[in-house]
Amino acid sequence: SVSGAAGLVAGLPSGFRWGVATSAYQIEGAITADGRTPSIWDTYCRVPGAIDNGDTGDVACDHYHRMPADVALIKDLGFDTYRFSVAWPRVQPHGKGPVNPAGLGFYDRLVDELLAQGIDPWVTLYHWDLPQELEDAGGWPVRDTAYRFAEYSMLVFDALKDRVGTWTTLNEPWCSAMLGYAYGAHAPGRREYPAAIAAVHHLLLGHGLATSQMREAAPRPLDIGITLNVATAYPASDAEPDVDAARRADGMGRRIYLDPLVHGRYPADVVADLAREGATLPVVDGDLEIISAPIDVLGVNYYFSQKFTGYAEDGSTVDASGLPISRDVPLGKPRTAMDWEIVPEGFTDLLVSIARDYPGLPMVITENGSAFEDVPDANGFVDDTDRTAYFTSHLTAVAEAIAQGADIRGYLAWSLMDNFEWAYGYVKRFGIVRVDYETQQRTPKASAAYLKELATQHRAR
Ligand code: GBH
């Protein structure tokens, strides 16, 4: 059902992009094809217990071998934009040195295929698949990795810049730094807090280096930016410890990235919080000028928001080491299959707060979507009214943010198809297209038809 779509579409500006997103490791498979070397995810998937069900990205959606059919599918679904990521270990297998033409060739063909179908390609240069050799040399906590990233970025940029108009350097540096190096929840699975904070800085430095080098080499004005996973951090009450817990969550989740990117400085309160935790951002003179190189578009990935309290269950406000308590508490909303609460109003509040704190920065929603317990019929069709309702409420939240003054230029659904959901393996399904992992058959879900109808109505307006 698309009832109410007309009202929703009316709130979205003309020229609004409608697209879908994926990432390389989550869909490609073919991990040894054409000279690709292991990334940190290939290694991490082989750590016993790291991934649900022992799943790996070895085959995934076999997109590497099915790319033309998948592009035709995007065309059939009526999208004008496709955001995909480039696998660094395909393009530059040792993380340094010359380009691997066979690996780069895949993305060259993908871009041509998209353009032939009238779909605008949007490249993400890094969606978490660091070449293992660079992790062996220290990974993102090491400053050299930022320079390696800029060098790799230019290999891709020089090959595709004549045909690709929109570029994202990093996808969700928070995840790379914190899930990868602090919490041990993503590759490379380290739990070293000070190293994670160094990774934050080196990811941002890599973004800044790549951005200015790409800008200089651009044949015409191109849109260059970064994608962040951001959310609203609500305080559980007006009590000072709760308000402070929300401030710290917002500081580590949003402002530690956006302040240096936009204002050229790290937030003083966050720097002080980190010092208390024994961690330092390893800033060298000149870094913040590099990091604040102008960007044309901020990619926003939104899934849910949380409420924070500064009280432990026993009522204390500090832990055993004297550090302030911070924990998330339920908002009391319905949940997705990820156990994430469904909080569309947190999306509006987030977008309006970014527009307020960082004025003049155009935004595109580069990911938004949900996993539910899909039940396919005998033909593989999923009538995912829950996922459709999630899209409606979150697109309505975007329209509301636009009405409140936020400059939002497009919406890319996560994800084109069910895929390798990182530590959750293949059990969690975010696709608008079902993938049968036995046969690799793709079957559009009801939510895909819904998004197609919205895009069609919007264009016809
Ligand atoms: C995105 O990450 C990824 O870009 C994409 O590859 C992935 O498939 C998709 O989401 C779905 O997961 O509970 O402590 O982790 C989103 C990752 C998930 C990071 C929610 C922040 C909340 C804090 N985000 N998470 S925590």
For 51-63, b/e burial (b = at least 16 CB within 10 A) is beeebbbebbbbb
301 lines ligand 1 (CB under 6 A): yes
Contact between 205 and 143 (Cβ < 8 Å): yes
Please say whether the dihedral angle defined by the alpha carbons of residues 86, 89, 93 and 96, taken in this order, is positive or negative.
positive
pLDDT value of residue 3: 59
Return d(Cα 449, Cα 306) in angstroms, integer.
Answer: 30
Beta bridge partners of residue 412, listed in sequence order: 19
Residue 6: predicted pLDDT: 79
* CB of 23 closer than 6 angstroms to any ligand 1 atom: yes
pLDDT score, position 110: 99
Pick the atom of ligand 1 nearest to 179's CA: 15
The alpha carbon of residue 211 and the mean position of all alpha carbons in its chain are separated, in whole angstroms, by 18
By the 10 Å C-beta count (0-12 exposed, 13-18 middle, 19+ buried), 116 is classed as exposed
- Return the half-sphere exposure (C-beta side, CA atoms, 13 A cut-off) of residue 409: 13
- pLDDT for 5 equals 81
Q: What pLDDT, on a 0 to 100 scale, did the predictor assign at position 317?
A: 98
Residues linked to residue 299 through DSSP beta bridges, in sequence order: 227, 364
pLDDT at 341: 99
Distance of CA 304 from the midpoint of ligand 1 (Å): 9
- Ranges of residues in the chain whose predicted pLDDT is under 70: 1-4
Round to whole Å and give the CA distance between 416 and 351: 24
H helix or E strand, kind and range, residue 151: helix 144-160
Does the beta carbon of 126 lie inside 6 Å of ligand 1? no
Tokens read off for 422: 């990182």
Taking the CA of residue 424 as reference, the ligand 1 atom at the shortest distance is 12
Q: Are 29 and 60 in contact (CB under 8 A)?
A: yes
Residue 421 Cα, ligand 1 centroid: separation in angstroms? 9
**Active site amino acids:** 172, 367
The verdict on the CB of residue 302 being under 6 Å from ligand 1 is no
Distance in angstroms between the alpha carbons of the first and the last residue of the chain: 19
Beta bridge pairs of residue 31: none
d(CA 444, CA 448): 6
- Which H or E run contains 26? helix 24-27
Beta carbons of 90 and 53 less than 8 angstroms apart: no
**Ligand 1 lined by 430 (C-beta under 6 Å):** yes
Question: How far apart are the CA of 248 and the centre of ligand 1, in A?
Answer: 19
Give the long-range contacts of residues 183-190, CB within 8 A, separation 24 or more.
Answer: 185/423, 186/44, 186/128, 186/422, 186/423, 187/39, 187/40, 187/41, 187/43, 187/44, 187/45, 187/128, 187/130, 188/40, 188/43, 188/44, 188/130, 188/135, 188/139, 189/44, 189/47, 189/50, 190/139
CA of 191 to the centre of ligand 1 (A): 18
Residue whose Cα lies nearest atom 18 of ligand 1: it is: 303
Angle of helix 385-403 versus helix 344-357 axis, rounded to 10: 30
- Does this model's pTM top 0.80? yes
Pairing of strands 223-229, 441-444: unpaired
**Exposed e or buried b for every residue in 124-153, given b needs 16+ CB within 10 A?**
bbbbbbbbbbbbeeebbbbbebbebbbbbb
Q: Is 79 helix (H, G, I), strand (E, B) or coil?
A: coil
User: What Å distances lie between residue 343 and 157, 250, 379, CA to CA?
Assistant: 37, 16, 32
User: Judging by DSSP bridges, how do beta strands 166-171 and 297-302 pair with one another?
Assistant: unpaired
pLDDT at 7: 83
Bridge partner list, 364: 299
